[in-house]
Amino acid sequence: MTINFATGFSAIRNQETAVRRLTGLLRSGNIPHAFLFTGIDGIGKKKTALTFAGALNCQRVDEQGVAEDDAVVPCGKCRPCKKIASGHHPDIIVVAPEKSRIKIAAIRDLGRMLAVKPYEARQRVVIIDQAQAMNPKAGNALLKLLEEPPRKTFLILTAGNTYSLLPTVVSRCQQVKFKPIPEHSVVTHLEKKGVPHEEAAILGKLANGSFGKADSLADTDWVNRRQWILQVVEPQDAGKKDSGQAVLSLAFSEILARDREAILDTLEFMKSWFRDLAVVRADSDRVVNKDQLDRIRQTARRYRTPQLLSKIDVLEAAQKNIEANANIRLTLDVMMMNL
Ligand SMILES: [Zn+2]
C-alpha cells in the first residue's frame, strides 16, 4: 500500500474521533505500546496505522511537535515520511494474511526481526493487518511480544472486531474504534472517481459503509455483472423450474467459485435484490436498485413476502459459510438449490 502523506491525518476521511485520539496521544508523547484498530474492512484502519507510523517518525513532528489544530502531520516531505509513504521503510513492518491466514511462522519471524535494533527509525512500527486471521497459536506467539514489548517499537493490530481475537491479546492493546462510512460520503467518493450519479447511488448502498467495498464494486463492470446475475436469479419465465434453469444455476456457481473476490459482493447484491422485491410494495423509496424499479415492481408480484425473506436467509447463510472458509463450490451449489 502506498499512500499520500501530503495532507497528513486530514486525508483520513470520516474517522474524526479516532484521528483526534491518535493526534492527542502524539501531542502528549504518552503513547501506549500496542493498539487495536477495530471496524469493518475498507474504512481506513491500515491507512491510519501507516499515517500514525509516519507521525512517529516524521522529522517535522520531531522538531516542532504536533499543534492542537494540526492535522497536517506527518509532513509527507521529509526522508522518513517519503520512505514510509512509499512502503520502503525497513522499520515499518506490515504483517498481513497469506491465503487468509496469519500463521505462527509469520509471528515467529516477526519476533526475530524485533529482537534486533531498528535499522534507522526513531520508532519502529509493526502493523498486523487483519489480526483475526491469526489462529490461536499465532495469537499466543504474538502475546509474548505484547507482554515484553521490544524497545522503540509500537504494534498496531487491525481487526473487524474484538471477539475474533484472543481476549488476552485484546486486553494488552488500546482499542481505537473506526466507524462505518455514511452512505452519502461513499456516494460522493464514487462520484469523485467518475462513477455516474445513478450508479454511485446504488453502489453506495451495496457498499454497506465501506470505501474499500465501494471501490471494488466500482472497479468491476458492475452494471454488466448485475445483468448476468439477474439472468440466473430471475429467469424471465419463472415459475417453471426446467432443467435448463438448473444447468444455468450450476454454471453460475461454477463461474462464481472461480472468482473468490467477487463472491461476497455478488451475494450482497442478490440480497439487495430480494430485499427490494420485499419492500417495493410498501415503500418504493427504500429500493436500492432504483434504476430497475419497473422490473422490481413486476417481479415482486410473483412472490409472497415470506418466500423472499427465506431467500435472504439462504444468502446470509452462504455468506457466513464463505466467510468461515467453508468449501466455496459446495456452499454455492447448496445455495442455488435452496434459492
Ligand atoms: Zn515528515
Average pLDDT, the chain: 89
The pLDDT confidence band at residue 2, using thresholds 50, 70 and 90, is: low
d(CA 44, CA 12): 7
d(CA 142, CA 188): 39
Report how far ligand 1's centroid is from the alpha carbon of 75 (Å). 4
Report how far ligand 1's centroid is from the alpha carbon of 39 (Å). 27
Report how far ligand 1's centroid is from the alpha carbon of 20 (Å). 19
Domain limits of the chain?
8-177, 220-338
Q: What is the pLDDT of residue 131?
A: 97
12 backbone dihedrals φ, ψ, rounded to 5°: -90, 115
Report how far ligand 1's centroid is from the alpha carbon of 112 (Å). 28
Regarding beta strands 124-128 and 153-159, do their DSSP bridges make them parallel or antiparallel, or are they unpaired? parallel
pLDDT beyond 60 at 240? no
Report how far ligand 1's centroid is from the alpha carbon of 181 (Å). 28
Report how far ligand 1's centroid is from the alpha carbon of 22 (Å). 17
Nearest Cα to Cα of residue 96 among 125, 123, 132, 121 = 132
Q: What is the pLDDT of residue 34?
A: 97
Q: Is 327 helix (H, G, I), strand (E, B) or coil?
A: coil
Report how far ligand 1's centroid is from the alpha carbon of 77 (Å). 5
Tens-digit pLDDT profile for residues 98-136? 988 999 999 999 999 999 999 998 899 999 999 999 999
Question: Facing residues of 93 across strands?
Answer: 126
The pLDDT confidence band at residue 192, using thresholds 50, 70 and 90, is: very high
Tens-digit pLDDT profile for residues 135-162? 999 999 999 999 998 889 999 999 999 9
Report how far ligand 1's centroid is from the alpha carbon of 175 (Å). 26
- 8-177: CATH number: 3.40.50.300
Report how far ligand 1's centroid is from the alpha carbon of 40 (Å). 29
Q: What is the pLDDT of residue 262?
A: 77
d(CA 122, CA 104): 28
Please compute Rg for the chain using Cα positions: 23
Mean pLDDT, residues 241-266: 73
Nearest Cα to Cα of residue 55 among 88, 90, 31 = 31
Of the ranges 74-88, 167-181, 225-239, 317-331, the best mean pLDDT one: 167-181
Q: What is the pLDDT of residue 5?
A: 75
Report how far ligand 1's centroid is from the alpha carbon of 123 (Å). 13
Mean pLDDT, residues 36-50: 96
262, 220 in Cβ contact below 8 A?
Answer: yes
Tens-digit pLDDT profile for residues 168-179? 999 999 999 999
- 220-338: CATH number: 1.20.272
Q: Is 236 helix (H, G, I), strand (E, B) or coil?
A: coil
